[in-house]
Chain A
Amino acid sequence: MKLNRVAVTGIGAICGLGNSLNEVWANALEGKSGITRLERHPNMENWAVTFGGEVKNFKLDPKLMDPKDQDRFDLFNQYALHAGEEAIQMSGILEAKYAPEKIGILLGTGLGGFPHIEMNHQAFLEKGPRRVSPFFIPSVIPNMAPGLMSIHYGFKGINFSIASACASSAHALGVAASEIMMGRQDAMITGGTEAVITGYTIAGFANMKALSKRNEEPHRASRPYDVDRDGFVMGEGAGIIVIENWDKAVARGAKILAEVVGFGASADAHHFTAPHPEGLGALTCMNQAIELSNIRKEDIGYVNAHGTSTPLGDVAETQAIKKVFGDHAYKLAVSSTKSMTGHLLGAAGGLESIFCIKALQTGILPPTINLDNQDPMCDLNYVANKAQKKDPQYALNNSFGFGGTNSSTIFKKV
């Protein structure tokens, strides 16, 4: 079966580093940290962790959502619409002649509307069932983000969400690309969104001992591959990507930003949260993506790593990269932009795919910041602290999730 090629024609981003693609990318290249003390929660007494990569000064354009609905629909929906509009406008697909049924939306979200779950649960306990909002269920279900987007733009193709924890949006992108490759859809809006920095989720992750507790120095807390790393830092936001059937994108004269050439997905089958110590699931996954891409592994010049800044995870992924690439592992560059954005959980793969695409477009690799004393178990080029000029031809994004799920995506420079 001949597969269609997949063009990336639009990207949009929002996270702790900024509320637009240009702002996010500029700050990433400067190695800025988007991690601060949390501003949205007035009372954080007894919280184990009081910082994260919060989006700042966010107000959704009323054209994208009626102001009266903005209190009702949880933030992950709003971040998706905000970054989605940026990506869709960039792509020009609204002016393309695609049938509405041939434009689909497939977004990744790890947890859905947690803030509103907490809020309604509190009302339920304090005031009783009659005070649970009629908008509670629609606000929190993970597929509401693609649902609202389809209503706004009239896209009538496939429409759902993928939830695979921190690999959600990477899996969404992979499956969306498959839809284009098979010809079922002409264009797809994909990537993902997440907004779950609340007391409840922080307590959950902190009690797993997954989070950094460097409360006194938030901007230095996310430090992948550094000997003093002590866990990940929660982030939030969205990374939305428009992909299209390559030939149709060319025919309509679209500006193509990159090509999606490969996708892999696998399971560790090892433990519900800990990575396989030798990264065997990640290895399978990267190999699958390379095989589908039909390239030599030496062609890959940049890896945007999962790199969450946890003691175990960074070592396991490094081991997997070394097993996949052999000697070439020491020639390619690997960076973890989570050092700057925090971990966007279900939105991480979307945002980090965008970093891969921008790296290919510009020939500049975003750094891993806070890498002061490199862990001897992590001995690759992690683009420490300063962006590097490299001009890679192919870039690979890794995203892994609890449950032992893995995803790798490969992008080609155009």
Chain B
Amino acid sequence: MELQDKVIKLVSEATKMDAANISMNTSFVDDLNLDSLDMVELMMKMEDEFGVEIPEDETENLKSIGDVVTYLKAKSH
């Protein structure tokens, strides 16, 4: 599975939103209506799933699925 699809699958499971409605452009706040606690929980799940540590100050820049995918790709290099 592509990284992008893995991220979408994880977000879909966490938010109970249909994966078909989630794309690279989907915004966590504007489209998925997530609040700050939702984001903390989601980032924990990302860390577990992808085996990375996402420092708190860096999560503030992750506003969309695309941001997360780009961030994770950069981390893996």
Contact = CB atoms under 8 A, between A and B. Distances in A.
B15 A134 contact: no
Contact of B40 (A66, A67, A134): A134
A371 B53 CA distance: 59
A135 B37 contact: yes
A67 B41 CA distance: 15
Contact of A68 (B16, B40, B48): B16
Interface bracket on A: under 10
A131 interface: yes
B41 A135 contact: yes
Contact of A131 (B14, B15, B37, B44): B44
Q: Is the interface of A mostly helix, strand, loop or mixed?
A: loop
A2 interface: no
A67 B37 contact: no
A130 interface: yes
A134 B44 CA distance: 10
Interface of B: 14-16, 37, 40-41, 44, 47-48
B41 A134 contact: yes
Contacts of A361: none
A133 interface: yes
Contact of B16 (A67, A130, A134, A135): A67
B31 to A, nearest CB: 14
17 contacts: A66-B16, A67-B16, A68-B14, A68-B15, A68-B16, A72-B41, A130-B44, A130-B47, A131-B44, A131-B48, A133-B41, A133-B44, A134-B37, A134-B40, A134-B41, A135-B37, A135-B41
Contacts of A68: 14-16
Given A66-B16, A130-B44, 9 more contacts: A68-B14, A68-B15, A72-B41, A131-B44, A131-B48, A133-B41, A134-B37, A134-B41, A135-B37
Contacts of B41: 72, 133-135
B45 to A, nearest CB: 10
Contacts of B48: 131
B59 to A, nearest CB: 12
Interface string A71-82: 010000000000
B51 to A, nearest CB: 12
Interface in A135-149: 135
B58 to A, nearest CB: 14
Nearest to A131: B44
A316 to B, nearest CB: 47
